[in-house]
């Protein structure tokens, strides 16, 4: 049974990756506290101890607005940390699966972004993640880079959970309607990563749930599904000035993923319904 080292295992995506992969792989989960990918000596220590066949890197500095303020930290984790992992994978002949983001694109496209389209991030988070991608590509070719978007999942903070919490406190919610993307359930993308590995794939892949929407449409759908009586008003991004600019259109084209795996992730609405059914346990 292949030995899989998962970094960032206590995070929203890492949690579901461990759960999905534990059925067919020997999983070794490491939280940030147990393995900081900035610490090259610690990485070497873990690799010597485990000699993993596959490394799935879910570790990242993902606080988009704080990245603008803490640029050095963002690049240390999302670029140098990724470089540390890729070098160690190369030394130990391990396969690397790295999670990247739709934010490597500018958002100025009118059609879904393909893997080979020009990257042009408009914030520090996107720039740091793109540099991490390049570090991997410059190191070796034994990898999959998975770009995904708008993640939500049970084991962490996310947009849907925030909206539901706000709906308990406010009578009116104002939600951005001029940013469009593909909401993606961490449970589903974890399965998609497994399909890619099972297919023997290498390279960059866009993986996300089917369908597109704005943040407003996502909020409205979640609120309706939960049967909550609250007014939701669509607004443009200018109403919410934030440190980091967001892409207005970051829809990922998943054709390559679907062709490679022979299947696709379900529609985001079905994924949200599934997620909300889990949340009922916590209500």
- Banded pLDDT at 240 (limits 50, 70, 90): confident
Provide the domain count of the chain: 1
Question: Dihedrals φ, ψ of 96, to 5°?
Answer: -110, 130
Average of pLDDT values for 3-29? 97
**Averaged pLDDT of the chain:** 96
Q: What is the pTM of this model?
A: 0.96
Residue 217 inside a domain? The answer is: no
Task: Tell me the pLDDT tens digit for each residue of 38-84.
Answer: 999 999 999 999 999 999 999 999 999 999 999 999 999 999 999 99
Average of pLDDT values for 9-35? 97
- Read off the CATH number of the domain in which 118 is found: 3.40.50.720
Asked if pLDDT for residue 88 goes beyond 60, the answer is: yes
Residue 170 inside a domain? The answer is: no
Asked if pLDDT for residue 263 goes beyond 90, the answer is: yes
Burial of 112 (0-12, 13-18, 19+ CB in 10 A): middle
Residue 168 inside a domain? The answer is: no
Task: Tell me the pLDDT tens digit for each residue of 127-154.
Answer: 999 999 999 999 999 999 999 999 999 9
Residue 241 inside a domain? The answer is: no
Contact criterion met (CB below 8 Å) for 156 and 12:
yes
Residue 223 inside a domain? The answer is: no
User: Domain of 80?
Assistant: 3-158+182-210+250-266
Q: Please give the sequence-ordered ranges of beta strands (E in DSSP) within the chain, or none if there are none.
A: 3-7, 26-30, 54-57, 95-101, 143-148, 151-152, 172-176, 180-181, 184-185, 203-206, 213-214, 231-235
The neighbouring-strand residues paired with 130 are none
Residue 227 inside a domain? The answer is: no
Which residues form the catalytic set? 125
Residue 74 inside a domain? The answer is: yes
């Amino acid at each position: 049974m292949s030995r899989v080292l998962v970094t960032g295992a206590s995070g929203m995506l890492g949690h579901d990756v461990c759960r999905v992969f534990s059925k067919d792989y020997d999983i070794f989960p490491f939280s940030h506290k147990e393995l900081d990918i900035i610490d090259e000596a610690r990485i070497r220590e873990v690799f010597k101890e485990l000699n993993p066949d596959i490394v799935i890197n879910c570790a990242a500095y993902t606080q988009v607005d704080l990245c603008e303020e803490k640029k050095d930290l963002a690049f240390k984790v999302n670029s140098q940390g990724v470089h540390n992992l890729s070098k160690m994978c190369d030394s130990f002949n391990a396969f690397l699966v790295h999670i990247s983001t739709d934010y490597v694109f500018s958002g100025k496209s009118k059609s879904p972004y393909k893997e080979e389209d020009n990257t042009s991030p408009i914030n520090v988070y996107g720039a740091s993640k793109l540099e991490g991608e390049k570090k991997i590509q410059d190191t070796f070719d034994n990898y999959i880079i998975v770009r995904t978007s708008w993640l939500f999942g049970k084991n962490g903070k996310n947009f849907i959970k925030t909206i539901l919490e706000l709906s308990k406190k406010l009578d009116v919610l104002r939600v951005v309607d001029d940013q469009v993307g593909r909401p993606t359930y961490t449970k589903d993308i974890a399965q998609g990563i497994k399909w890619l590995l099972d297919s023997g794939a290498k390279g960059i892949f866009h993986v996300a749930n089917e369908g597109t929407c704005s943040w407003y449409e996502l909020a409205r759908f979640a609120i309706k599904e939960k049967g909550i009586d609250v007014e939701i008003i669509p607004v443009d991004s200018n109403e919410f000035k934030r440190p980091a600019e967001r892409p207005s259109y970051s829809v990922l084209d998943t054709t390559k993923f679907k062709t490679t795996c022979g299947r696709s992730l379900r529609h985001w609405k079905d994924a949200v319904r599934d997620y909300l059914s889990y949340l009922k346990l916590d209500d």
